[in-house]
Structure 1
Amino acid sequence: MSELDLQQLLDWGRNHARWLVITGAGCSTEVGIPDYRDADGQWKRPQPVTYQAFLGDELVRRRYWARSMLGWRVMGQARPGAAHGALAQLEQQGRIELLLTQNVDGLHSVAGSREVLDLHGRIDTVRCMDCGRRHARAELQQMLLARNPEWAGLYAAAAPDGDADLEHRDFSGFEVPACPHCGTGLLKPDVVFFGESVPRERVQAGLDAVARCDGVLIAGSSLMVYSGFRFAEAAARQGKSLVAINRGRTRADALLDFKQARDVGQALTELARQV
């Protein structure tokens, strides 16, 4: 990180007392969790399963949970990296009004951040679509392994959000348990799927933080999905300063005071150490 870039970032941090921080996949790639998009903001892989397909097609659900069972090996063992640690430190220093993350890995909370809004939910929890009861994803993992031992030894490369690149298999025999509480309900990860709306109260909490903050820092996100971009739009309408640390294009580029195409963990670490 050049001295000029560091000084620019430090000056911004010192001139803006309280920040809304919006984070994305770039904060977690360094700990082995893949991202969806390339430096130009384009998809690097097929789009994830939609909410409508998951609820409406049993074979889609079997395929999803088979891949998730293998992908949990990475997601379930992931630990916070430099970006997560630096943001927790910045919160302790009184700099962060709210940390709004588009990630579902929960690593900001594990790192010690307290004012976290998990905009798209958490992958470490599953919810019954019938009775509404929530269960730990780790518990479901044991149920999946017990019912599908022949799948446990398969290899599949890690994919974003706890998925795995498992293809060319007959998923029709993969067994997916029902809700252990009500005995019949369909289990879904407690995350917002594509085609599903972010809960209204989360959106309002983010907009309220935009109104309270002095500036917005975008860290490791292209903001290509509107659910996150809306907060940058709202900040710009209110005349708030927006800056970004992100390798590649963001949807908010035209709204930014500046952008640094730097390693987000390194940049945030220096910001926490010197601001």
Structure 2
Amino acid sequence: MQKEQDYVPFIHRLADAAGAAALAGFRTSIHVDDKGLAGAAPDDVRRYDPVTEADRGAERAMRALIEETFPDHGIVGEEYGRHQQDAEHVWVLDPIDGTRSFIAGVPLWGTLIGLMHNGRPALGMMAQPYIGERFFGDGESAGYRGPHGEGTLKTRRCADLADAILFTTTPALFDRDERPAYDAVERKVRLARYGTDCYGYCMLAAGQADLVIEAGLQSYDIVALVPIVEGAGGVVTTWTGGAPTDGGRIVASGDPALHEQVLRELAICQA
């Protein structure tokens, strides 16, 4: 019986394959299709949902490796859907998380590779092939590999919103009911930065930031990041403190005390 740590070499193989496919299209004149939600309001971020052949090619490369190596494993991917999703082991893939950054030439995108075991996130990696960084974790520990070598990821202590650095991809993620709650938290932090996608969670795990708040996420946007953040000492839940596996409204904190404070703030604003 294989343990989750036995899959670490394989997850690096998946990252290698996805990275080669993604980099072939980065900072090129690659064609962009729009999967956006028809009829969405002008201020709804879902009205424009770009996808490229780099997204599709990276996911195809990972799926082919998984199907060849572990044919009894399930797969959930952003571009090609679900396969054997009730299996004991299920790979959850977002080939390019942050496609908007990708098509704009900004290297704040990454390949997300998560492994679920019996319905819980057991192993995760965020790989940024252009910069050459990989962040990975198993829920108990988390590590980094990049241009400056290898190291351990550890969140930092920050128990008060007034001292916190907050990330979100864009305030446009939040609908009319969610935005006041997010704004209330942002007004209380020391610094807020936008445009981070998956990178924000990895900076939280690395102790560079304290809080990520987002909404409208899918499972493939968050499953890979949970073992990284938790392995570094952080917390990831929904806005109501539930399991984050299915996505939705997500909050991640480096300090458990800060997390409780943020959950209370979000609950007050939504009451």
Same fold at TM > 0.5? no
Highest Rg: 1 or 2?
Answer: 1
| Greater relative contact order (Cα < 8 A, sep 6+) | 1
TM-score interval, normalised by the smaller of the two chains: under 0.3
The structure carrying a bigger strand percent of its residues is 2
Higher helix share: 1
TM-score normalized by structure 2? Answer: 0.25
